[in-house]
Structure 1
Amino acid sequence: METPQRILIRMPNWVGDVVMATPVLEDVRGAFPNASITAMCRRPLSELLEQDEAIDELFSFEKGSHEFSRRDYSRDIIAKIEAGKYDLGILLTHSFSSAWWFWQSKIKRRIGYRGHFRSLLLTDPLTPSREKIHQVLRYKRLLEPLGIPISGTLPRLYLRENELRESKELLYQRGYQRGAKLIGINPGAAYGSAKCWPPERFRALAMELLLQTDAAIVFFGDANTASLVKEISQGLPERVIDLAGVTSLRELASIIQACTVLVSNDSGPMHIGAALRIPLVALFGSTDDEVTGPYGQPNSVVNKRVACAPCMKRVCPIDFRCMKQIEVNEVVERVLAYV
């Protein structure tokens, strides 16, 4: 096998998955220290890969938004990939379109998992393992055709010092007192309500932590969960800061870095916290923490392991027992261990 000189790695399309895929970048760099490595990632998720020491270039692109323009959009993406003259492409996505782009762009070697009728577009189509393994390891197994063994590398993110300073300023502007402990709470999740601890429990958690500690509490969320966070935090004391829908992904990561502990459902912010080595209290119900739990922090998971879980449903069709069995006092005790 020729040593690749120009490598393109197509990153996943969800915040948490991008974070869980970062060890692949580090492992490829370790195997090919002299190669030029480009990470291809959709905006705004690509923000998370800025400053990554394992890559030479970040290929950011927008998701095609209109049906009538998709052909032109795809043609433009293919032209940009072809211009890079890559001799190795690694697909961490499972879509047909991503494999089609790599094939049309004449990348010499194309590695990815089978499925979605794309095997013929790959030079190295791998069959996904049927055994239950963590998503981080599933990504790493794509490197086996390159002779790269499964490593112990962990997800990681790189933040600049000025970003950390500016994130503190954002908190100060909203009443955060210098030197106070900071508890992060992320009550939402992109996949659906079945992944989320009930809003009234998050509110009760915040109220109890305000009573038992002098810490400030910062709520995280995106534009889609801003109304949920407002509902939870409305009327709470000034030590509660609502940043839902306010931050970019890099600002979110920088503020999570400032947290003493982060309480979260199974979500992108949870994986960001794990990558930044922030103590976590990770609440699981409908999803499987053995597959998508905070990598490297298995003891941070709270999961009642009810008979119907993990169901992987977006909305619970019955009584939501997996999350309702997680009591507020249990989460409070977990948080207090770090504050």
Structure 2
Amino acid sequence: MSQRILVVAPSWIGDMVMAQSLLIDLRARRPEAVIDVLAPPVTASLASRMPEVDGVVESVLRHGEFAWRKRRAEAARVKTGGYDQAIVLQRSAKAALVPWLAGIPQRTGVLGEMRYGLINDVRTIDTARYPLKAEHYALLGLAAEDDALAPITAPRLTVDTDNQSVLTARFDLDLSRPIVGFAPGAAYGPAKAWPAAHFAELAARLDDQGWACWIFGSAADRGLADAMKTAAPRHGVDLVEHTRLTDVVDLAALTTHFVGNDTGIMHLASAAAPSVIGLYGSTDPDYAPPLAPRAQRLWRGMDCSPCRERHCPFGHQACLSDLSVDDVLLACTRPGTSAIKALHGAHGYN
């Protein structure tokens, strides 16, 4: 009988994308296994774009919610799947409760928040040997902790070309010119955000050179989008609040480059776009880089970064405010050139 595996997926968009490296490796190692994903609605839609996944169990639990009765009901639903193993990607005790309540025999994960008993196949992560967050997820899929992990396969979501055509027509998108997709938001906090004025200036300069500027985001990014669209009156396209996550995947695949802060949308675009430019300040570009076929990481590498804080502890946010528009423009027009002062790393460019 085929082994049945349930992957308890993250709630954050970028983490869900990086988790695909685990799913790809699992499918290669256990081709006959049934691999299902338990995920909240926001990331469940992305699992449907991962060909390695057999089924998606949509969680009714909100991020951070304890809700004991809901968890017991969800565990009863999961139990009907007859799973042999659960791989729990989050580190919280709450995330491990449903597999434990469902009686799944093997529950794999890191110890995290003192999850003795909840996780009975405890793994440790050698972060010096495996620095990437995507590798940390993939390590949980190994048969044993001391197995070596081969180089991971970068996430690559399935693009729905029919939906792509529908979106192109709906938004009257011009595909005849080079296109830069933008993810200017930073839901985690302002310490992750390149300044709004910088994004607007970059959009203006690209617009002057005939580049299309497609702006993605949520309602929280409305002000950013308005400023960028005003700055790029000829070729700016405001897509904020008009696209689902799967729409972002399909449209990112049409871009020349995708520029974004270290956020979920930037990582989502990395799984579909041909080229991604990630802007880093308070976070580590070597831990969660864009995993696109071609990618550039721009980072000033100040002594105080990565601080991983939501707000700059010093109040100046120089790690991002001093990341110049000239550098990001060069990354778009002359990718990988040594003239980019803040270029921390690049791959895939000739």
What is the TM-score with the length of structure 2 in the denominator?
Answer: 0.88
In structure 2, what is the equivalent of residue 111 of structure 1?
108
For residues 135-158 of structure 1, give each alpha carbon's deviation from its aligned partner in whole angstroms, at most 9, with x where no partner exists: 011111112344573343111111
Matched letter for residue 165 of structure 2:
R
For residues 58-77 of structure 1, give each alpha carbon's deviation from its aligned partner in whole angstroms, at most 9, with x where no partner exists: 1112334897x923311221
Structure 1 CA distance for aligned equivalents of residues 111 and 301 of structure 2? 31
Larger fraction in helix: 1
Structure 2: runs of 5 or more not aligned: 336-350
Matched letter for residue 142 of structure 1:
L
In structure 2, what is the equivalent of residue 9 of structure 1?
7
Structure 2 CA distance for aligned equivalents of residues 230 and 182 of structure 1? 18
Structure 1 CA distance for aligned equivalents of residues 13 and 64 of structure 2? 23
Matched letter for residue 216 of structure 1:
A
Q: Given that residues 14 and 263 in structure 2 are in contact (C-alpha distance below 8 angstroms), is that contact kept between their aligned partners in structure 1? A: yes
In structure 2, what is the equivalent of residue 161 of structure 1?
161
Structure 1 CA distance for aligned equivalents of residues 138 and 205 of structure 2? 41
Structure 1 CA distance for aligned equivalents of residues 294 and 132 of structure 2? 11
In structure 2, what is the equivalent of residue 120 of structure 1?
117
In structure 2, what is the equivalent of residue 190 of structure 1?
187
Q: Given that residues 89 and 137 in structure 2 are in contact (C-alpha distance below 8 angstroms), is that contact kept between their aligned partners in structure 1? A: yes
**Aligned match for 2:307, one of 308, 311, 324:** 311
In structure 2, what is the equivalent of residue 256 of structure 1?
252
Structure 2 CA distance for aligned equivalents of residues 43 and 64 of structure 1? 9
User: Greater RCO between the two (CA within 8 Å, min separation 6)?
Assistant: 1
**Aligned match for 1:32, one of 27, 30, 33:** 30
Structure 1 CA distance for aligned equivalents of residues 327 and 290 of structure 2? 19
SS of equivalent residue, structure 1 residue 63: coil
Q: How many residue pairs are counted as aligned between the two chains?
A: 331
SS of equivalent residue, structure 2 residue 171: helix
Identity score, percent: 28
SS of equivalent residue, structure 1 residue 290: coil
Structure 2 CA distance for aligned equivalents of residues 256 and 277 of structure 1? 5
For residues 140-191 of structure 1, give each alpha carbon's deviation from its aligned partner in whole angstroms, at most 9, with x where no partner exists: 111234457334311111122212212212331xxx3342222111111221
**Aligned match for 1:99, one of 96, 101, 107:** 96
What is the TM-score with the length of structure 1 in the denominator?
Answer: 0.91
Structure 2 CA distance for aligned equivalents of residues 233 and 197 of structure 1? 17
C-alpha deviation, 1:196, in angstroms: 0.8
Structure 1 CA distance for aligned equivalents of residues 258 and 249 of structure 2? 12
Where do residues 249-328 of structure 1 align in structure 2 (5 Å cutoff)?
249-295=245-291, 300-318=296-314, 319-328=316-325
Matched letter for residue 309 of structure 1:
S
Q: CA RMSD in A?
A: 2.2
305-314 or 271-280: bigger deviation:
271-280
In structure 1, what is the equivalent of residue 17 of structure 2?
19
Q: Given that residues 220 and 243 in structure 1 are in contact (C-alpha distance below 8 angstroms), is that contact kept between their aligned partners in structure 2? A: yes
Q: Given that residues 4 and 88 in structure 1 are in contact (C-alpha distance below 8 angstroms), is that contact kept between their aligned partners in structure 2? A: no
295-304 or 327-336: bigger deviation:
295-304
Structure 2 CA distance for aligned equivalents of residues 296 and 228 of structure 1? 25
Structure 1: runs of 5 or more not aligned: none
C-alpha deviation, 1:233, in angstroms: 2.7
